[in-house]
Amino acid sequence: MEKSSCIHFCFISCLVLFIVVGSWYRSTNSSLPNSTLQTPWSTSKNRIFSNSKASSVLETQAQTSIDHSAEAPHHPLDPLTVQEINKVRTILSSYEPFSFTFPTIHTVQLDEPDKVKVLKWSKGDALLPRKAQVLALLNGQSHVLTVDLDSSSITSHAINSSSGYPMLSVDDILAASKVPFSNAEFNKSIAARGVPSSDLICLPPSAGWFGPNEEGKRVVKVLCYSKESTPNFYMRPIEGLVMTVDLDTLEVLKFSDTGREIPIPKSTDTDYRYTAQTKEPQMERLNPISIEQPKGPSFRVEDGHIVKWANWVFHLKADHRAGLVISRVMVRDSENGELRDVMYKGFASEFFVPYMDLDESWYFKSYMDAGEYGLGMSALPLVPLNDCPRHSYYMNGIFATPDGNPFVQPNMICLFERYAGDISWRHSEGLLTDFQIREARPKVTLVARMAASVGNYDYIFDWEFQTDGLINVKVGLSGMLMVKGSPYHQAPNQDAMSGPLISENLIGVVHDHFVTFHLDMDIDGANNSFVNVNLVKERSLPGESPRKSYLKAKRKIAKTEKDAQIKLKLYDPSEFHMINPSKKSRLGNPTGYKIVPGGTAASLLDHDDPPQLRSAFTNNQIWVTPYNRSEQWAGGLLTYQSRGDDTLAVWSERDRSIENKDIVLWYTLGFHHIPCQEDFPVMPTVTSGFELKPVNFFESNPILRAAPAFEKDLPVCRSSASS
């Protein structure tokens, strides 16, 4: 780049960044528009009031709108297009069982082709037959249908295939949220509390399942909040007021009002928006920061979903339930340049969030956010410069409305390169030898990100790819706590409470977060084995060494599923390898990847507790099952009000053979959350994750020959003060 061009580029880049990002200090004359983009069909628990006056100064329109109406699939795993979703609706409309009444559509997604056929398919081949899976509800019954788009026919149709129901639709949420306002008992209670109905927001969290008395009908709990003087209504619960509503008849099945003596917490300091802050932060000013890429990003996206970056190639798509799905992951061999298989498919399969309070208005709060609400359906447009850095690529999701029409969930995934000053590898010599060596390499990674706003909580999912072959999967928790109203202004004896006091009249109830990932690892091919490499302490023999004890790695290959049901133990450590026993390195080691656990909190609930019965997939941190295309959702295909009869734990009890088979690794990332005052009114992000790391997969360090960074390759932005 010519010097004058570089100076011009850097000046404009820095100026634009300064204007857009600004500083930590709030401008008193801000004229930025209120431009929060709402998604009308999101089924998130807090997305149902699109006409709210609460808004933000942050711009969410990341790119020019894309016309998806004429798009066609290019890859067997590409999501359904607008045209295909329209065709599904047409086929269903002419289907005889639905001829009188069209069902409510809860899910329309690609029914993926047989894995063997996908693995054989190459670009340029004829596209494999396209099918759709539909989850629908009609007359209180769950319908699971397969629609053949090529023959315009329905090839399978099951009714009530398991105990649960499909995830809530936006129609369910809207209808249930209106029920309280026509209920006499509710209006009487609200009047007694002195809350105008115009200040109310009511939300219908899922009801869970607590025995036979709650079977045979779809029910939801309805809770209400005051939004007077704040958009953060979550911090103003109307405690003890809960209604159980039949979702199909909209009948109030139960009305509970136990908290009239508990005041509604004040709105003071609850507004988290930038424009609402009246005091400057008590810290040194932070100058704007950005990564400049004068030649543009190093990655490219082909045919809408194939990502190519450095030595990686993978398929990326949005999913209504999982949010983000990574498929056909391949890495280039560092010696011969050939692409090698690493993973067929990876995604967040379920998200279990149990709260630890036994009150009538709290005991049922044990959410399964993926299966009950949908992580993709709860996603809102990512915020450029704040959710995703400059030079990010944005990807939309295309889903179906309850009446079967397609809609676009804009900018729900972003893809970007990250450099945070980390080091890929380094070594220096010179202190004790004649070698004067200073070698280091910067770590640049590629991140695929999605964020879901499931009610009060926000979940950030990152899949980060490194050039050394490592995949780092991270989950960040932010948003608002689910709080409980309290009569206390100052903390009493908290042992009697379900959590600590985090603000006046507000208890942060203790709870957990468990994210179970489906990881269909295909190390150099589909047939793999799972190896427990256990570190065992051994005693030295008398006179053998001054040492008394040492550790030895002992390998055990899992034969069946029960051999691979793993509870992590701090004082009985192991490494867990997925290997290809048929592919060896030059030294004779089987090629493999290992999972490096993080976020190792485990569920402590009793196994006969109803929420734990439904989420028995959290009984272990690691499971391994034979590949089965019908076993993808750890909580079952139909999760809402399920009894736990179709979960990962149930499948694994079959104790099928898993040695040298096409197998799936499951890992549960766990968080225990004891809230604190710093979580009010909005939580700083808490992040944890796990790694998928190559083990004897490469012949040596795959980034040994990576180039260092040189000053001449980088543009430099200098302020006038430093020039």
Which residues have a catalytic role annotated? 369, 457
| Count of CB atoms situated within 10 Å of the CB of 216 | 9
Which helix (H) or strand (E) segment holds residue 439: the answer is strand 437-442
3-state DSSP assignment of residue 681: coil
At which residue do the structure tokens 């607590």 appear?
A: 210
For residue 203, give both structure tokens: 């939300």
Cis before 681 (ω within 30): yes
Of 404, 399, 412, 302, give the one whose Cα is nearest residue 81. 399
Q: Which string of DSSP letters, residue by residue, matches 441-510?
A: EE--EEEEEEEEEETTEEEEEEEEE-TTS-EEEEEEEEE---EEE-S-SS---GGGSSS-EEETTEEE--
94 and 154 Cβ atoms separated by less than 8 Å:
no
Q: Cα–Cα distances in Å, from 86 out to 129, 376, 587? A: 17, 20, 55
What is the C-alpha to C-alpha distance for residues 345 and 631, in angstroms, rounded to an integer? 13
Q: Which helix (H) or strand (E) holds 134?
A: strand 131-138
**DSSP run (H or E) holding 115:** helix 115-120
Short-list 344, 258, 262, 277, CA closest to 692: 344
The tokens for 545 are 């060494």
Supply angle C-alpha 425, 428, 433, rounded to 5. 150
Give Cα 613 to chain centroid, integer Å: 22
Radius of gyration in angstroms for the set of CA atoms belonging to the chain, rounded to a whole number: 27
Consecutive H or E run containing 118: helix 115-120
Q: Which helix (H) or strand (E) holds 351?
A: strand 339-354
State the amino acid at position 232 in one-letter form: N
Asked if 566 and 556 count as a contact pair (C-beta separation under 8 A), the reply is: no
Q: Which residues of 294-320 are buried (b: 16+ CB within 10 A; e: fewer)?
A: eeebebeeeebbbbebbbbbbbbbbbb
What is the helix (H) or strand (E) element at residue 8, kind and residue range? helix 3-21
Residue positions counted in the chain: 723
Pairwise CA distance, residues 480 & 681, whole Å:
7
Please choose, from the candidates 181, 531, 167, the residue with its C-alpha nearest in 3D space to the C-alpha of residue 350.
Answer: 167
Strand partners, 142: 137
Contacts of 579 (CB under 8 A, 6+ apart): 523, 528, 529, 531, 590, 591, 592, 695
**Considering all CA atoms of the chain, what is the largest pairwise distance in Å, rounded to the nearest integer?**
88
Among 276, 259, 282, smallest CA distance to 189 is for 259
Angle made by CA atoms 59, 65, 70, in degrees to the nearest 5 = 160
Determine the Cα angle at 478 with ends 683 and 205, to 5°.
105
DSSP result, 394-421: EEEEEEE-TTS-EEEEEEEEEEEEE-SS
Secondary structure (H, E, C), 582-614: EEECCCCCEEEEEEECCCECCCCCCCCCHHHHH
The CA distance from 237 to 227, in Å, is: 9
